[in-house]
Structure 1
Amino acid sequence: MNDFTQALTVSASGMRAQSARLRHLSENISNADTPGYRRKLIAFETVRDRETGASKVVPGPVRLDQTERQRIFDPSHPLADGTGHYTGSNVNLLIEIADAREAQRSYEANLKMFDQARQMSAGLMDLLRK
């Protein structure tokens, strides 16, 4: 395949990977106050596309963050134990929002690369038609 196709494949895979990352980050943010919730983490893997020969990124398996969850004191909570504590989530909203911003910027960069490769390909086709 040509270089334009490889560029489109790479940038499209980056957008898909960041989209998956944003989906898990939004789940983490929406469950920040859910008792017992563990933060979801996603890693990326590089694979070789057999059709184009380009290396592309794919989301790996989702893992649960094993850091300590906070213990919250609220004797009136239905999940509170004998000491009045219950286990909260291990989601830190500041980290999740920063990660979401990073994923958004990466998605936008891949989108610009995709659009640029598409415009260059269209320009080349216009030149070849003349």
Structure 2
Amino acid sequence: MGLLDIFKISGSGLYAQRVRLSISATNIANAQVTRTLEGGPYRAKDVILKAVPISEKDPNLKAVEVADIVDDPAPFKEVYDPNHPDADKRGIVKYPNVDVITEMVELLSAGRAYQANLTVLSTAKSMALRTLDLLK
């Protein structure tokens, strides 16, 4: 494994974790939205990641790729509030299927993974600079 492979792998990790952070932040921001442009409450999003080989020479070296961003199939939360403008005939308001606690854990996890990828990049950069210093 060369230094460029390390940079590719960590770079892909940084991108994937940034997407996870962004989607979790979007889910939290929309946790109380009962009316969207599509109609109905906001539906939480999930990020699907997949491992992809970075080299034909060594198929064991894998980077991460954002495969898809999908709607969470969990049911909406139903709350009885007949005075709410979005209440149906029974007085039920459908709220987004966003679990804020789960999203906070997702934010922490993605943040730690992002930080770990930065550490890998920083270490690889230091190694490359030390190698260049030795070759002078």
TM-score, normalised with respect to structure 2: 0.88
Give yes or no for the alignment of 1:55 onto 2:62.
Answer: yes
Q: Which residue, out of 123, 129, 134, partners 1:127?
A: 134
Give yes or no for the alignment of 1:75 onto 2:74.
Answer: no
Indicate how the Cα distance of structure 1 residues 25 and 87 shifts in structure 2: closer, same or farther if over 3 A, else same.
same
Deviation at 1:46, TM superposition (A): 1.4
Could you tell me whether the CA contact under 8 Å between 1:40 and 1:65 is conserved in 2? yes
TM-score, normalised with respect to structure 1: 0.92
Q: What is the alpha-carbon root mean square deviation over aligned residues? A: 1.5
Q: What residue number does 1:34 align with?
A: 33
Matches within 5 A, 1:1-130: 3-35=2-34, 36-50=41-55, 54-129=61-136
Cα deviations across residues 69-120 of structure 1 (Å, max 9, x unaligned)? 1111111111111111111111011000011000000000000000000100
Q: Which consecutive unaligned segments of at least 5 residues does structure 1 have?
A: none
- For residue 37 of structure 1, give the secondary structure of its aligned residue in structure 2: coil
Q: In the comparison of the two structures, how many residue pairs are matched? A: 128
Give the Cα separation in 1 of the matches to 2:134 and 2:86: 69
Q: Share of identical aligned residues, percent?
A: 30
Could you tell me whether the CA contact under 8 Å between 1:5 and 1:52 is conserved in 2? no
Q: What residue number does 2:38 align with?
A: none
Deviation at 1:8, TM superposition (A): 1.1
Indicate how the Cα distance of structure 1 residues 67 and 84 shifts in structure 2: closer, same or farther if over 3 A, else same.
same
Q: Which consecutive unaligned segments of at least 5 residues does structure 2 have?
A: 35-40
Give the Cα separation in 1 of the matches to 2:115 and 2:122: 10
